[in-house]
Structure 1
Amino acid sequence: MTTPPALDTAATTTHGAKLSRSLGVGGNVLITLSGISPASSVFILGGAALAVYGTGVFWGFALAGVISLLIAYCYAELGSRHPIAGGDYSLVSRVLGPASGAAVFLISLVTLPLIVAIFALGVADYLGVAIAGLDPLWTAIVVIVLATVTACFNIRANAWVTGAFLVVEMAALALLAVLGLVHVERPITDLLDPQALDTATGGLAPLGIAGLVLAITQGIFSYNGYGGAIYFAEETRNARRSIARAVIWSAVITVLAELVPLTAILLGADSLEELFGAALPVETFLSARSGDAITIVVLVAVALAIVNAIIAIALQSGRLLFAAARDRALPAAVATPLATISPATRMPVAATVVMGALALAACFIPFDVLLNATGSTLAFSYGFIALAALVVRRQSDAAARAGEDLTGTFRMPLYPLAPVVSLIAIASIFVIGILDPAQWVSLGIAIGIVVAGFAYYGLYLRRNPGTAHLLAAEDDEWEPAK
């Protein structure tokens, strides 16, 4: 019997549960982009950035796009080398070791349900333009329940559902871009000198370097999510080759889908002073250019985009908990049911439902606490990914010298430029957080989560070596593409 090719090796499991390898690159990208939700990022994060950083958003989001693409290269090489469900946790634990993996697992375990709760609590604000009197809490609860149920369907069905929603939100972004570019009020050279609204005078004033760096930080946060493609590695055909393409395509599309409409708004707004001074800059621009009726339709589309993001994040959350349970990084009594796969849908239903329940519970946490708890964790996650990207190349070279077949794996160009620049950018974010007292609570919570993760490893996993068993890529079962 001939040995099957290594190209499709992708960590199905050694515990008998198999996810359905039925996604192509396109299906993976559809779900990943849905989790990013470019439309809600433009309206919520982009709008907030316009109000604070003015035309600095152009440079800030452009430079953030470059940094995001560099981080995407890190994800791509890591995911190609270890195409295993579980996202950041699976990558970091296999490259940097189980201690770092435990820290990243706890970051994701805490933040993913909180992000779902934040998104869900915001649905009523946008859906309320069409349906008056919606209660934010009950709307969030209904949305999370429906999203969790949907996330338990088979992965191809979820790709179709999220893809349909994604078309709607991309159309909304295309409309914003067209409205700005058909009535250009100023040349693009006006955006090269970053200026923000001076609340004291009501006019524009130069944006300092600190403000520009903060705009970059906002852009990085707005683009976040392209690494989510890794969560679906075990459900993607030809994973070693395909997963890198899914990550990079998701990052490129996200940057363009957000940067182009924001730039169009800056070029097409009648008055930059009025735009930056508006409570909701993007909605204000849309209403002025298209009228109230179209604005309502677009805001409903944004609400659907948020719901779509919740479905996609619910899919990612389930795979995080499933992967950790399958790795035996949890106590056996908990891990056994969470590591099961539904025979009907070939989905980690139990893990998905548990993460949905955590998101429901998070809806009852005060909103400012939710924001503080998620604010600085992204920088820690990216830091671990960049460090892992520096290490994985040496591991891959050593494996190749030892005779391992790495055909089809992705190797980022200009190594080690991407991880080094990413680490410098992340270090800058930490410095800004330390210097800004307003960020101390968020930064403190993030540090506390990371410390708790290392403590969990030291106090439990390390003391129970028979419990923890990380699946190594070379131990994975081979499953032919379907």
Structure 2
Amino acid sequence: MDTPTQQGDRSLTDFGYNQQLDRRIGRFSSFAAGVSYISILTGTFQLFYFGVGAGGPAYVWSWPIVFIGQLMVALCFAELAARYPIAGSLYNWTKRLGSRTTAWMAGWMMLTASIVTLSATVLAYQITLPQLWSGFQVVGDGTGTYDVAVNAVVLGSALVLFTTLVNAFGVKLMARINSVGVFIELIAAVLIIVILAFSAVRGPVEVLTETAGRGEGQSLGYLGAFLVAALASGYVMYGFDTASSMGEETIDARRTAPRAIIRAITASFLLGGLILLFGLMSVQDLTDPQLSSSTGGLQYVLLSAAGGGLGKVFLASIAVAITVCCLAVHTATIRMMFAMARDNNLPFAARLARVDPKRRTPVLPAVLIGVLAIAVLVVNIRQPQVFTAVTSIAVVMIYVAYLLVTVPMLLSRLRGRWPLPADDDGPRHFSLGRWGLPVNVLAVLWGGGMALNLAWPRREVYNATEPHHWYLQWAAFVFIGAIAGIGLAYYVLRQRHRTGVLADHAA
């Protein structure tokens, strides 16, 4: 009988590729990949101040709402991961669900969005490290006009350099660092929940009903404020597909990847939700302006509850979480670039798809993505409002990329073409069965609604500070339209005539 590794290698051959990547990732490492990308400690601590500032303490209602919507998407992805455990999962799934053009657009949108997401995520260092030790503020003293922005680029660039080196060295080192980091993050999250719970000074009802006057005088009232505040949760709960993107490097991927996807988003919801709720229950004054300050936020709440010494230990854990989060984002982006290059769907495809024979990992994509991420970071130095807009746009593009999977999947179901003809006779361990259609419908409706909410031209999101420009306020539609248009034109006019598995990778 074949081992799970041999079964995975044979399965990849049935998909048209030969096995070149290093299949070493086990169950916990696969789960850790999804958890570290979502990274509850990174996301909640980075965006808490925005959510409270926009919607008051009651914004925490957005957390379970976003979870339910994203769970529908995750269930669809889990079903696909069980059938097609291939690198660059979204891109390869859409190849089988829709047209080659749709698949290329899904890969293009996810690839460009992920590079910007890496740049945006490394900025979380600036929120945490200077509070941990003042020496991390290496540019000025933090009071200058551009001190914080420039220092964020310095710290972020150092982190990108680290993730580039780790990914270039090989998946074994990446998996070990990621797994240790996630273990620390999970332990820290549980301890933070316990400390915040013991520090509670009010019940959950007071938190869940406190709007702090947000929405007053607006046309939609609190609903308008809540839709803005929901972005704080929407910005966090994605990336669970990372476990499936590393399917070619996962042992028994058909069984492991689907479970990792569901467990990652569920664990993130439970731990993150409890941190937000107990954090607000432990605050002495729910109207404290520090809660909605980018220099205060949830870090301020934790330091107040745990005290300076213990609080800084937790801040160090948050720094670890940020590190492995960025490592996971970089890793997933590499797999997407590799998967598209292997199909000769990117410029210089042969070089980008080359796998180092010793490290069994694509090195050039790791370096190129790192360079591009640092280039995007430089935008933050003098134009922070532009970077904020681009960061929001990147998240919208990821939601759009998800739609480019769930919509073709739904059309396949409605046309009676699902489940797709099996590419091999291997077992499939996860299926939605008769629940597939309603779950898929909800996934599409949720994805479309959330993408529209994220892209809506709100000045407080896309152009919060002066100078005010119409193109910044409408940046999501302008920028995404330009990226999609340029990508589509490039593919239709040039790349589609070259598409085909490179000889070095063909089974």
**Fold shared by both chains (TM-score > 0.5):** yes
Alignment of 1:193 onto 2:209: yes
Structure 2 equivalent of residue 346 of structure 1: 360
The residue identity in structure 2 corresponding to 1:62 is: P
Structure 1 equivalent of residue 248 of structure 2: 234
Q: 1:329 to 1:274 in 2, by over 3 A?
A: same
Query: 2:53 aligns to what SS in structure 1?
Result: helix
Structure 2 counterparts to residues 285-364 of structure 1, below 5 A: 285-331=301-347, 334-364=348-378
CA distance in 1 between partners of 2:71 and 2:223 (Å)? 22
Structure 2 counterparts to residues 75-86 of structure 1, below 5 A: 75-86=77-88
Write out per-residue CA displacement over residues 232-260 of structure 1, whole angstroms, 9 at most, x where no aligned residue. 01011222222211111111111112111
Query: 1:456 aligns to what SS in structure 2?
Result: helix
CA distance in 2 between partners of 1:7 and 1:57 (Å)? 44
CA distance in 2 between partners of 1:276 and 1:72 (Å)? 35
Query: 1:23 aligns to what SS in structure 2?
Result: coil
Query: 1:83 aligns to what SS in structure 2?
Result: coil
CA distance in 2 between partners of 1:196 and 1:340 (Å)? 55
8 Å contact from structure 1 (residues 372, 445) kept in 2: no
> More deviation in 276-285 or 375-384?
276-285
8 Å contact from structure 1 (residues 58, 262) kept in 2: yes
Query: 2:284 aligns to what SS in structure 1?
Result: coil
Alignment of 1:384 onto 2:414: no
Deviation at 1:122, TM superposition (A): 3.5
Structure 2 counterparts to residues 212-231 of structure 1, below 5 A: 212-231=226-245
Structure 1 equivalent of residue 494 of structure 2: 460
8 Å contact from structure 1 (residues 89, 320) kept in 2: yes
8 Å contact from structure 2 (residues 30, 256) kept in 1: no
Deviation at 1:385, TM superposition (A): 2.5
Structure 2 equivalent of residue 441 of structure 1: 475
The match for 1:425 among 443, 446, 459 is 446
8 Å contact from structure 1 (residues 103, 452) kept in 2: no
CA distance in 2 between partners of 1:404 and 1:344 (Å)? 30
The residue identity in structure 2 corresponding to 1:422 is: A
Query: 2:212 aligns to what SS in structure 1?
Result: strand
> More deviation in 411-420 or 221-230?
411-420
Structure 1 residue runs of 4+, over 6 Å off?
4-8
The match for 1:451 among 485, 489, 504 is 485
Gaps of 5+ in 1: 478-482
8 Å contact from structure 2 (residues 389, 475) kept in 1: yes
Structure 2 equivalent of residue 59 of structure 1: 61
Instruction: Give the share of equivalent positions with the same residue, in percent.
Output: 22
Q: TM-score, normalised by structure 2?
A: 0.83
8 Å contact from structure 1 (residues 36, 225) kept in 2: yes
CA distance in 1 between partners of 2:290 and 2:62 (Å)? 16
Structure 2 equivalent of residue 263 of structure 1: 277
Structure 2 equivalent of residue 371 of structure 1: 388
Query: 2:193 aligns to what SS in structure 1?
Result: helix
CA distance in 2 between partners of 1:340 and 1:86 (Å)? 15
8 Å contact from structure 2 (residues 24, 251) kept in 1: yes
CA distance in 2 between partners of 1:316 and 1:430 (Å)? 21
Structure 2 equivalent of residue 11 of structure 1: 12
Q: 1:17 to 1:40 in 2, by over 3 A?
A: same
The residue identity in structure 2 corresponding to 1:329 is: N
CA distance in 1 between partners of 2:83 and 2:412 (Å)? 8
Aligned pairs, number: 462
CA distance in 1 between partners of 2:214 and 2:499 (Å)? 56
Structure 1 equivalent of residue 430 of structure 2: 410
Deviation at 1:391, TM superposition (A): 4.2
The residue identity in structure 2 corresponding to 1:236 is: T
CA distance in 1 between partners of 2:307 and 2:281 (Å)? 19
Structure 2 counterparts to residues 86-165 of structure 1, below 5 A: 86-129=88-131, 130-132=133-135, 133-135=137-139, 136=151, 137-165=153-181
8 Å contact from structure 2 (residues 21, 248) kept in 1: yes
CA distance in 2 between partners of 1:167 and 1:102 (Å)? 35
Q: TM-score, normalised by structure 1?
A: 0.87
8 Å contact from structure 1 (residues 116, 359) kept in 2: yes
The match for 2:39 among 32, 37, 40 is 37
Q: 1:291 to 1:192 in 2, by over 3 A?
A: closer
CA distance in 2 between partners of 1:190 and 1:476 (Å)? 60
8 Å contact from structure 1 (residues 53, 207) kept in 2: no
Structure 1 equivalent of residue 258 of structure 2: 244
Deviation at 1:9, TM superposition (A): 4.9
The alignment yields a C-alpha RMSD, in angstroms, of 3.0
8 Å contact from structure 2 (residues 123, 155) kept in 1: yes
The residue identity in structure 2 corresponding to 1:372 is: A
